Amino acid sequence: MSEAKSAIDSFLNHKAETGMQCGNYSIDIPELKQGQQYRFHFDMTACVGCHCCEVACNEQNNNPADVKWRRVGEMETGEFPDVLQLFNSMSCNHCVDPECLRGCPTNSYIKLDNGIVFHEDETCIGCQYCTWNCPYEVPVFHKERGIVTKCHMCVDKLEAGQTPACVQACPAGAISIEVVDTEEWIKNDMAKEGVAPHLPDVSITKPTTRYTLPDIPEGKDIRPADEHILKPAHSELPLVFMTVLTQMSVGGFVALFLGELLHLFGLDLPAPNIWMVIAVLLPAAIGLPLSALHLGRPGLAITAMKNLKTSWLSREAAALGAYAGGVTVLAGLYALGVPEWLKLLVEVPIVALGVYGIYAQSMIYRIKARPAWDRKSTTLRFFGSGYLGFLLVAVILAMTGEARSVLALMAPMLMFGLYQMHLIYEETVFYKYLDKEHPLYYQLSRTKKLLEEHFGHLKKARLMSLALFAIGLPMVSIVFAAANMGGVAAFILILALIGAMASELIGRYLFYVTVVPLGLAGNFFAGNQRG
């Protein structure tokens, strides 16, 4: 009995002498001064990988098993029997410059005075943009509630002088709460103490978590324990259709605008008519509501425009919504038979809104947390899909016997189609010669594997269908249009439009399912992203 008491006393004395916070309900940390905030400290030398912190966090916050605000990643290095196993317990890093906050379209993230990045559940629409933006994949989509949730450092407990649940539960004392001077941290310490193996570049969000790392032999390759697991990302089917349809609509409207401009300048070409306007409006009218199916709370979709200042998603929603409204007004002007100069005057801002909307749409995906998306080619592809709109207008012209206009429209349409082919070639070359020294080689090489192995058949189908329907059949239609065989040309163009549409949908599907995000290495058990 005395030996057991002695052991307990020894442990309690050790905790008192070292300042360990585990198992203590009270926490003794200084009050925050100007420029300071709370942060986590994680001691990788102490963590034994028991996952008690995960369990305690879920119990404290009443989360289901697949929603984890704190996760334990596993890594290893060496060869048997000389093996070193590493664990990293990570929740929100309560960054100085959080990407989740900047990108949120509903302003549902707040940086509290104590530095904690807090998520307001009430205003969240479940768009999950923050789950893409965060390089640590911290925000978690809660399917039952239809919103995103995340760690708030048990702020209510902290303000009451108590330790967060994960800190209390850790048997090894590997997790603790500290106060940090953010300016000093960013300037002098973050690059040394804010890093751990296989974590994203700290410059992206300026995380505040401090790490104590074990001595790792120089040159040792530290492997994520889950590197043998490679799953496709979520297909995001509503967004597949929405993005392609809106790009098709804007492309078609640009074709109408050019036609109106050429006709006004006196070229012997027919002016656009109301049916063409309705035809290019229809894809946007279908596509934009589809985007609401991606949301956890579609009834609040209108609030996605609240953060025009910093969120590309808000800008996209506002611009494309205004674009669709403008095209609807224009259709009314066509029905009223107003003068051409007035219609052209109205079309100028509509074109600008549509083009900006597609640019904003592409910038939603130009994020550092998803390397395969964060490329210039993403923006170029989104604009390139606009050839579908040119093809749609060409179908209407062919059906109404305007062969000369079809011929005029086919030239830019074929240029767009060829450029889409070029972008596929550029992607193929990029991955073929991917440098192993590239800082994002791990994620990009896995995207390459998904493209070439898991979805190799779809990639081939995408390439072949693009060549046939965006280039081959339109070229054949030119021959029949030139021979004044409008009916045959129209039939061929209808086939081309259907096939090209399918090709673009396949391409966009691949865009979503093959992206490999940054995040926590060895994150076996996290169900934080939809799969």
- Collapse the DSSP code of 97 into the 3-class scheme (helix H, G, I; strand E, B; otherwise coil) and give the result: coil
Task: Determine which helix (DSSP H) or strand (DSSP E) holds 388, and give its type and residue range.
Answer: helix 387-399
Nearest one of 313, 360, 314, 331 to 253, comparing CA atoms: 331
Q: Are 342 and 349 in contact (CB under 8 A)?
A: no
- Collapse the DSSP code of 76 into the 3-class scheme (helix H, G, I; strand E, B; otherwise coil) and give the result: strand
Angle at 465 between CA 461 and CA 468, to 5 degrees: 145
Q: What is the mean pLDDT of each run of 10 residues along the chain (531 residues)?
A: 55 55 69 94 94 93 92 88 88 96 96 96 96 95 95 92 91 93 95 93 96 84 88 94 98 91 70 89 96 93 95 97 97 90 91 98 97 96 96 90 82 91 94 92 95 95 96 93 86 96 97 95 60 47
The pLDDT value given to residue 522: 83
The two tokens of residue 231 are 């799953």
The pLDDT value given to residue 161: 87
CA-based Rg of the chain, rounded to a whole angstrom? Answer: 28
Nearest one of 41, 47, 46, 68 to 57, comparing CA atoms: 68
Q: What is the C-alpha separation between 243 and 364, in angstroms, rounded?
A: 11
Type of residue at 294:
H
Residues with Cβ < 8 Å from 243, sequence gap 6 or more? 287, 361, 382, 385, 508
Q: What is the C-alpha separation between 101 and 111, in angstroms, rounded?
A: 8
Nearest one of 108, 472, 8 to 310, comparing CA atoms: 108
Q: What is the C-alpha separation between 443 and 368, in angstroms, rounded?
A: 12
Type of residue at 400:
T
Q: Are 136 and 93 in contact (CB under 8 A)?
A: yes
Q: Are 59 and 52 in contact (CB under 8 A)?
A: no
Q: What is the C-alpha separation between 359 and 351, in angstroms, rounded?
A: 12
239-265 exposure pattern, b = at least 16 Cβ within 10 A, e = fewer? bbbbbbbbbbbbbbbbbbbbbbeebee
- Collapse the DSSP code of 291 into the 3-class scheme (helix H, G, I; strand E, B; otherwise coil) and give the result: helix
Q: What is the C-alpha separation between 89 and 52, in angstroms, rounded?
A: 10
401 phi-psi bin (left φ>0, alpha ψ -120 to 50, beta other):
left
- 293-to-239, 300, 373 alpha-carbon distances in Å: 9, 11, 22
Report which DSSP code applies to 269.
S
- 380-to-366, 416, 423 alpha-carbon distances in Å: 12, 10, 8
Q: What is the C-alpha separation between 184 and 182, in angstroms, rounded?
A: 5
Q: What is the C-alpha separation between 49 and 88, in angstroms, rounded?
A: 8
Task: Determine which helix (DSSP H) or strand (DSSP E) holds 118, and give its type and residue range.
Answer: strand 117-119
The pLDDT value given to residue 221: 84
Pairing, β 117-119 against β 175-181: unpaired
